[in-house]
């Protein structure tokens, strides 16, 4: 009995490792996988591997990003906007620093005013995590030392049930923490039953599998922590 349990644990751990390796080989998921947003407005399309081809004026990035985020856009639109903003911001360290500073100040002010804005905390936290995946973890990254995932969790606690925020948190935690990842993935998939756009995103392809399969394979592996 003990041997069978041990073998199951080994197999589960191997499955988790393979899913994480597959995601790593495909590139950072918060950057390399675009979010479907339908006809909603976001920043101009950008190829993460050839930013200059977009012809976008980086001097407009902070204004344009804030305008979209302040328009009460749904979470999926915010995710895609912040993904594109990160790709653009990597080209100019000062703009990257200022964009994050403004989102952090915006979140802090929402709380100080006594009306904590879940979306503001989500925006700041998600930007931190995209910065970590694309700009890196060194001192040159303005997100170094910040815990964006904690801010996303704070946003979820303030907002209440929100499958799209759970989806974002599941992507952030693909490589752990495992228990939290499982919870986020399950809530996102459950919410997709009544959210057609989220369902389309879960069914989209990433590295020869659907996003739902990627999340589920990570959720199924390993022993609860």
pLDDT of residue 17: 37
- Is 80 exceeded by the pLDDT of residue 117? yes
> Exposed (0-12), middle (13-18) or buried (19+): which is 138, by Cβ within 10 Å?
exposed
d(CA 49, CA 68): 24
pLDDT of residue 113: 72
Kindly state the average pLDDT of the residues 156-175: 96
218 φ/ψ angles, rounded to the nearest 5 degrees: -70, -35
Q: Which long-range contacts (CB under 8 A, 24 or more apart) does 62-70 make?
A: 62/95, 62/98, 62/99, 62/102, 65/99, 66/102, 66/106, 68/41, 68/42, 68/43, 69/103, 69/119, 69/123
Query: What percent of the chain lies above the pLDDT cut of 70?
Result: 83
pLDDT of residue 225: 33
Kindly state the average pLDDT of the residues 98-126: 91
- Is 90 exceeded by the pLDDT of residue 219? no
Q: How confident is the model at residue 216 (pLDDT cuts 50, 70, 90)?
A: confident
Q: Collapse the DSSP code of 18 into the 3-class scheme (helix H, G, I; strand E, B; otherwise coil) and give the result.
A: helix
Closest Cα partner for 90 from 147, 47, 41, 148? 47
pTM above 0.95, yes or no: no
pLDDT of residue 115: 67
pLDDT of residue 62: 98
pLDDT of residue 7: 41
Highest mean pLDDT among 67-76, 111-120, 131-140: 67-76
Span 125-144, pLDDT tens digits? 999 999 999 987 666 899 99
Kindly state the average pLDDT of the residues 87-97: 95
Span 18-57, pLDDT tens digits? 444 444 445 789 999 999 999 999 999 998 777 877 889 9
d(CA 54, CA 47): 8
């Amino acid at each position: 009995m003990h041997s069978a349990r041990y073998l199951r644990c080994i197999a589960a751990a191997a499955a988790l490792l393979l899913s994480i390796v597959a995601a790593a080989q495909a590139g950072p998921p918060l950057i390399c996988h675009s979010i479907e947003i339908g006809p909603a407005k976001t920043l101009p399309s950008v190829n993460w591997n050839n930013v200059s081809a977009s012809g976008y004026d980086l001097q407009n990035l902070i204004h344009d990003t804030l305008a979209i985020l302040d328009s009460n856009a749904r979470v999926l639109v915010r995710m895609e906007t912040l993904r594109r903003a990160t790709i653009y911001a990597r080209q100019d360290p000062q703009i990257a620093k200022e964009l994050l500073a403004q989102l952090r100040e915006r979140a802090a002010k929402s709380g100080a005013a006594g009306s904590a804005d879940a979306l503001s905390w989500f925006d700041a936290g998600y930007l931190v995590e995209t910065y970590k995946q694309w700009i890196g973890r060194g001192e040159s990254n303005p997100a170094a030392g910040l815990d964006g995932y904690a801010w996303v969790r704070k946003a979820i606690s303030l907002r209440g049930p929100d499958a799209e925020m759970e989806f974002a948190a599941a992507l952030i935690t693909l490589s752990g923490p495992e228990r939290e990842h499982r919870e986020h993935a399950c809530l996102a998939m459950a919410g997709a039953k009544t959210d057609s756009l989220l369902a389309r995103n879960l069914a989209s392809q990433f590295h020869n599998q659907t996003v739902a399969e990627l999340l589920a394979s990570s959720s199924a592996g390993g022993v609860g922590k």
